[in-house]
Amino acid sequence: MASAPVAMAPVSDAGRPPFRAADVEALVHDLAGILGEGGVSTAPRALARASKDGSGMSPILTAQQPLGAPDLVCCPKSAHQVPDVVRAAVRRGVPITTRGKGTGNYGQAVPRYGGLVIDMTGLTTISALGDGYVTAEAGARMITLERAAWDAGQQLWMYPSTAQSTLGGFVAGGSAGTGTIVHGRNHMGFVDSLDVVYAHDDAEIVHLAGDDAQPMVHTYGVAGIIVRATVQLEPLQDWRCVYASFASHHDAFAAAVHVRGVSPQPRLCSADTVTMSAHLPTDDAIPRGRASLRTIVDSAVVDEISGIVEACGGRVEAVRSGLQDTLRASMLSYNHPTWWMQKAEPDTWFHMEVQGDALVERLDEVEAVYEDGMLHLEVGYGHMFGMLNGRYRDPQQVYDGVAQLEALGVAVHSPHQSYVDRDADRIRTLAAQTDPRGLLNPGRWLS
């Protein structure tokens, strides 16, 4: 992760689509014809639900509420309905924001200029599961796919800590999670093929395979709507979840550095400070007053992991196995420790996504950048990754820390923005072809 642009200025309003209330009314009628009366809603509850996502994790985005609200929400029940919906919205000039489970934490699923939200959670069919792949509709949940894979003696290459999130949402809006240590981020070969719908007058489902599918990954739905995806599976390993505790997170992080060198590689390795560990859900394997390390490792290396823990001054609290425990450990990773801490102490904490071995090598300096700084550590793909938490004062304090972190050799990605910030020029060029009228999730460009 190279540092991505971190901007305090709001995104450009230049691309705001000029639709009117009459266009929305006409579209409600069109969509009722396509999806049935129950498939489209303008009810306040449905609109309010589609106006929210995980951006409450950012005090900066929270202060900008409302980030947007749709005029109507529709819920297709099969992939082949989506092109019909898109053609209708394009004909009426109404913007379209695609929504999965709404767990994205940058506000990127919130329709900035209103218009139509397509809720994809009704598209859940798993159409094929073979040796090394699973094909499913975009609304299928990652946890469902992982379960289906285990039943077939396989596992997903990766899934996010929000295991309830959708396949389409993870491909379009997420990036990493359990499995990332081995396979990197989701744009690195995880996606085998995609069926997408572009915002054209004559929209149909387009199949993109191999290299042709990769440019659509992590594009926030601005360049196409994913209706189906085929992603990579691999043979199931015999996993163990090792929970360890340490007197201090310095020791836990030192252990994480050693765990990353173990072969076969772990599927996940997360570690937290004493304070952050105390905010995780109650579990005998996460004793209060101790820093916690949780790692999902092959059964063949459990003894080696125990040796690492002890050599770093810690103790193994539990060794668990099975799908449920693997999922449980996953759901305590990435943003989740921050989320639990924010839940316990609302309006107190913010976080920055940070990367680099300096996180461990210069830990005290890194944590000193922000008041009460506390690092949640993940072993990433060949590097250390984490969430640096601090006590929130104001946006300036948050952004001032970026230069200090970069000076320490830490790359920073801000979770306090909703614009496309990775590969923005390339994605904009792609979207000019696939969405010539700028109707797909508009308002995501920095300038």
Ligand X SMILES: Cc1cc2nc3c(=O)[nH]c(=O)nc-3n(C[C@H](O)[C@H](O)[C@H](O)COP(=O)(O)OP(=O)(O)OC[C@H]3O[C@@H](n4cnc5c(N)ncnc54)[C@H](O)[C@@H]3O)c2cc1C
Binding mask 285-324 for ligand X (x = CB under 6 A): ----------------------------------------
When asked if residue 369 is in the footprint of ligand X (CB under 6 A), the reply is: no
Q: Which is nearer to ligand X, 251 or 325 (CB)?
A: 325
Q: Which is nearer to ligand X, 10 or 289 (CB)?
A: 10
Q: How many residues bind ligand X (CB under 6 A)?
A: 39
The whole-angstrom separation of Cα 105 and Cα 102 is 8
**Rg of the chain over CA atoms, in angstroms?**
22
CB of 185 to ligand X, least distance (A): 8
**Contact by Cβ (8 Å): 256, 293:** yes
* Spatial separation of the C-alpha atoms in residues 447 and 443, rounded to whole Å: 10
* Nearer residue to ligand X within complex by CB, 99 or 290: 99
For residues 85 and 34, the answer to whether their CB atoms sit within 8 Å is: yes
Least distance (Å) between residue 198 CB and ligand X: 11
Q: Does residue 144 touch ligand X according to CB under 6 A?
A: no
Work out how close the CB of 165 gets to ligand X at its nearest, in angstroms, rounded to a whole number: 3
221: contact with ligand X by CB under 6 A: yes
Tell me the closest approach of the beta carbon of residue 325 to ligand X, in angstroms. Answer: 17
Q: How far is the CB of 348 from ligand X (least distance, A)?
A: 16
Residue 336 within binding range of ligand X, rule CB under 6 A: yes
Task: In whole angstroms, give the CA distance from residue 39 to residue 41.
Answer: 7
Q: How far is the CB of 397 from ligand X (least distance, A)?
A: 22
270 binds ligand X (CB under 6 A): no
Q: Which stretch binds ligand X (CB under 6 A): 25-33, 166-174, 280-288, 289-297?
A: 166-174
326 binding ligand X? (CB under 6 A): no
Nearest residue to 182 (alpha-carbon basis) of 239, 106, 136: 239
* Residue 338, helix vs strand vs coil: helix
Joined tokens for residue 364:
């005290």
Contact call for residue 179 and ligand X (CB under 6 A) = no
How many Cα atoms occupy the beta-carbon half-sphere of 14 within 13 Å? 5
Query: Do the beta carbons of residue 72 and residue 27 sit within 8 Å?
Result: yes
Helix axes 142-151, 323-330, angle to 10 degrees: 150
Distance CA(55)–CA(44), nearest Å, equals 20
Amino acid identity, position 445: W
Binding site for ligand X (CB under 6 A): 53-54, 57, 97-105, 108-109, 120, 138, 160-162, 165-166, 168-170, 172-177, 220-221, 225-226, 334-336, 339, 441
